[in-house]
Amino acid sequence: MSEILNYFTNLPLLELTAMLLALAYVILAAKGSLWCWPAAFISTALYTYIFYDVLLLMDSALNGYYLVMAVYGYWCWQQKPSNNNDSDTALAIVSWQLSWHIKACLILAVIASALGYFMANYTPAAFPYLDTFTTVYAVFATYLVTQKVLENWLYWIVIDLVSIYLYIEKSLLPTAVLFVIYVVIAGYGYLAWRKQYQHKKITLEPAILGEN
């Protein structure tokens, strides 16, 4: 325990800042706050450098993608659906069918396998296949967040659990601890978003029936 406390006491400022901002992003996203995206932008800029420095090349590239998606996500979450009569309500939470997710996962698995082979044979990347799989699925899950798709949190639970192993192996202890917290927040995010989705669905059903 003393060794862990000593590690955090001497933690590099760059990684500590990235970790705290990343944590803020997930908490704010779970609460549906638009401010999650500015926090994500700064955090991912820092992690792009950190992961490149330890040769987790796909993770570094992933965070470069996150930079773009932070801007896109901020824009999406400000948009109001054209059929939404509530002027104070922005992009609504939606749920996609299981069959759609199964097809998406199969396609992503093929893409990840091909990229993993390339990383294993033509780059010095550490854990090329595992790192590539988490990266490919995280790219997709991030898009789901920008669209407020409920199931994004289920993807993140699996991605974060695998990532914990990667970061422990690369001695990125603070980031591993961060991802343990991510798993907990992702579970909370799923339950919170599902509650909002079900409430919205119940609220809209009488209005739809009335229109018919």
Asked if the structure places residue 97 within a domain, the reply is: yes
Highest mean pLDDT among 80-84, 90-94, 143-147: 143-147
Write out the DSSP string of the chain: -HHHHHHHHT--HHHHHHHHHHHHHHHHHHTT-TTHHHHHHHHHHHHHHHHHHTT-HHHHHHHHHHHHHHHHHHHHHH---TT---TT--SPPB---HHHHHHHHHHHHHHHHHHHHHHHHHS--SSHHHHHHHHHHHHHHHHHHHTTBTTHHHHHHHHHHHHHHHHHHTT-HHHHHHHHHHHHHHHHHHHHHHHHHHHHHHHHHHHHHHH-
Name 112's Cβ contacts closer than 8 Å, sequence gap at least 6: 129, 132, 133, 135, 136, 137
Please give the Cα distance from 136 to 141 (Å, whole number): 9
The pLDDT assigned to 115 comes to 92
pLDDT in tens, 121-141: 998 888 889 989 998 999 999
pLDDT in tens, 40-62: 999 999 988 888 887 777 778 87
Asked if the structure places residue 86 within a domain, the reply is: no
Residue type, 140: F
The pLDDT assigned to 59 comes to 74
Asked if the structure places residue 6 within a domain, the reply is: no
Asked if the structure places residue 128 within a domain, the reply is: yes
Portion of the chain with pLDDT greater than 90, in percent: 49
Asked if the structure places residue 119 within a domain, the reply is: yes
The pLDDT assigned to 42 comes to 94
Please give the Cα distance from 22 to 130 (Å, whole number): 22
Asked if residues 81 and 91 have their Cβ atoms less than 8 Å apart, the reply is yes
pLDDT in tens, 4-41: 566 556 667 888 888 889 889 999 999 889 999 999 99
Structural domain harbouring 107: 11-79+92-211
For residue 78, CA distances in Å to 34, 44, 91, 117, 187 come to: 8, 21, 7, 39, 25
> Higher model confidence: residue 210 or residue 191?
191
Distance linking the first and last C-alpha atoms of the chain: 63
Mean pLDDT of 205-212: 51
Overall number of domains in the chain? 1
